[in-house]
Amino acid sequence: MENKIYDTIIIGGGPAGLGAALYAGRAKMSALLLERAKFGGQAATTSEIENYPGSIQDETAPQIARMKQQAENFGTEIVKDEIVKVELEGEVKTLTGKNGEYKARTIIIATGANPRLAGFKNEVELRGKGVSYCATCDADFFEELDVAVVGGGDSALDEAIYLTKFAEKVTVIHRRDEFRGNKSVQERVFANDKIDILWDSVVEEAIDNDGILGGLKIKNVKTNEISDLAVDGCFVFVGYNPTTKVFEGTSLKLSDRGEIITDEDMRTNIEGVFAAGDVRKKSLRQVITATSDGAIAATQAEHYIANK
């Protein structure tokens, strides 16, 4: 494999990477997908995906498995490896993994991003069981129920407003005594009767009630007082960490948050290098937009090679 030069190598086996792998294979490109861990990305950690077109309740895992199978059926090779070094310039790009070296004429980066954790007890254990990082994905599961939003940035406030379309009550938990950022968004929050705000507060613990969220323990950072908050859902919005560490120090252009900057055709600032999905700078991080990005990236990679 080390001597082979692929038409494209896709880094990442989430929906964006699998979408790219499907379109690359279908375009008769010699394609390799490299995934370091679990296929499916964040989608594989969600118990249900109701807002993906054609999805059926409780079929998240089969959807991801079918994506992978489709890509393999069209000839894309799939290998487990973690990339530790990249050389992206030139007509042939080189990726060095823990298990080998790989070369290709184009690279599609689909390494994804992970929501930052708030750091409270049982946060990881109750993820997908009452603790969520995506209101667009999970809000309808909490219709007419009480939920909390952890965070005080613009995205947290936007999500709190969105959640009021479904929840009976939304409590915003913010560690400071004021919000920073967009004043118009703040005004909408203050004017919404469904939203309460707990200032100077952090979540100490998500209460585990037989494997599902049973409420929150809240700590006031000024008085150290601990209190209980009865909620059915907890939405954490304290930012995203794009998986781009291996690209730091290269000529690949990143945003100040570490996201890869692309145009609408998924092209980066380096010829022959594309990015797709949550790893790139974008406004909506969903399975449907990730697979769309992957399809565009693979199609543009094929055009790039054809024009060469």
Copy the structure tokens of residue 307: 């024009």
**Residue of 7, 58, 81, 137 with catalytic role:** 137
Looking at residue 175, its amino acid is: R
Residue with tokens 């190598």: 9
Copy the structure tokens of residue 222: 């000024």
Please tell me the distance from the alpha carbon of residue 122 to that of residue 127, in angstroms, as a whole number. 8
234 is catalytic: no
Copy the structure tokens of residue 60: 């998240």
Please tell me the distance from the alpha carbon of residue 267 to that of residue 274, in angstroms, as a whole number. 5
Copy the structure tokens of residue 115: 């929501």
For 25, phi then psi, to 5°, come to -65, -40
**Residue of 138, 232, 278, 293 with catalytic role:** 138
Copy the structure tokens of residue 42: 């964040």
Instruction: Give me the DSSP letters along 42-92.
Output: GGGG-S---SSTT--TT-HHHHHHHHHHHHHHTT-EEEE--EEEEE--SSS
138 is catalytic: yes
Listed residue (139, 134, 150) closest to 216, CA to CA: 150
Residue with tokens 């007890």: 121
The C-alpha angle 95, 289, 109, rounded to 5 degrees, equals 5
* Contact yes or no for 195/189 (Cβ under 8 A): yes
**Residue of 7, 58, 81, 134 with catalytic role:** 134
* Contact yes or no for 191/164 (Cβ under 8 A): no
Q: Known catalytic residues?
A: 134, 137-138
